[in-house]
Amino acid sequence: MPKNWVSAKEIFARVFEPNLRIIDVRSSLMDHGYGAQKYAEGHLPNATRLDLETDLSGPKAEHGGRHPYPSAAQIKEVFERAGVSDHTRVVAYDDAGGMFAARVWWLLKYIGHEDVCLLDGGIQAWLEAGFSLETAARNFPGGQLTVREKPELLASVEEVRTVKGRNDVLLIDARAPERYRGDVEPIDRIPGHIPGAINRPFGQNLENGKFKDLESLKTQYQDLAGQQEKILYCGSGVSAAHNALVFHELGIPHRLYAGSYSDWVSYPEHEVETGEQAAEPV
């Protein structure tokens, strides 16, 4: 049984338990009002909402990317406000295959809160199972979280600068292939990818909107089981958290470059590459 995602039926059986907190993280990178609108139209019973831009990102600056990772203090404040305490089980969901919900998973892991997972298949799976939605906004008494910050989960831009040409570190890009290759770039300043990176789109973790079974995922990533250090990135630290969740499930050590490609290209001196990856890892 996977530890990091659960089925709609499992959540339905526990939806009103006091130590369960369901968090709606539906978002759009192109429409910042999307999540609030969708939550108002209907959400899982007893679910509260967190916003990618205002709750799950830190203040923007010249560097740090489009969705800078918040400080441990901000993470603590946001989740306590959502009613999360040390003994709360958190289930996050979205309507994008878990891409945004994985950010909740990663941030809580970063401050040492281990009891967090995703609703497999998101709100679509909930509806397909025949379960209803509600429209009333849910607010909860403030929680109390103990922070056990894990800075070792992060890789800095200074470290990423040293990766090209090294055989002991593997840089893994979670974006769609067309963005990795530089065929298109709808958001960031320059198309392409960080030099030396390989492409493992987060969407490959899914089949029909749900996580693939564990054996399929093990096979998919078996070529990454070597001793190389893995550093994960994407456009702004959102979809890379999805790969991080799967790597965690499979026991593959890794770190996350939180600023990701949008941080990388904020430095004019940084080079980028375009086209297909040169070779798979050996």
Q: Which of 116, 150, 184 is the last residue of a domain?
A: 150
Q: How far is the C-alpha of 66 from the C-alpha of 102, rounded, in Å?
A: 17
So what's the pLDDT on residue 221?
96
Q: Which spans in the chain are helix H?
A: 8-12, 34-41, 72-81, 101-110, 122-128, 157-160, 177-181, 214-220, 239-250, 260-264
Q: Pairing relation of β-strands 206-207 and 210-211?
A: antiparallel
Q: Which of 111, 224, 234, 245 is catalytic?
A: 234
Please confirm, yes or no, whether 234 is among the known catalytic residues: yes
Question: Distances from the Cα of 62 to the Cαs of 65, 233, 239, 259, in angstroms?
Answer: 8, 19, 22, 11
- CATH number, domain with residue 256: 3.40.250.10
Which residue stretches of the chain have pLDDT < 70?
A: 278-282
Stretch (H or E) spanning 198? strand 198-199
| One domain for residues 166 and 180 | yes
| One domain for residues 23 and 121 | yes
| One domain for residues 199 and 90 | no
Q: What percent of the chain has pLDDT over 70?
A: 98
Instruction: For residue 48, tell me if it sits in a domain.
Output: yes
Please identify which residue in the block is written with the tokens 């909107």.
209
Instruction: For residue 273, tell me if it sits in a domain.
Output: no
Instruction: Please state the domain count of the chain.
Output: 2
Q: How far is the C-alpha of 193 from the C-alpha of 206, rounded, in Å?
A: 23
56: domain range?
A: 5-150
| One domain for residues 144 and 12 | yes
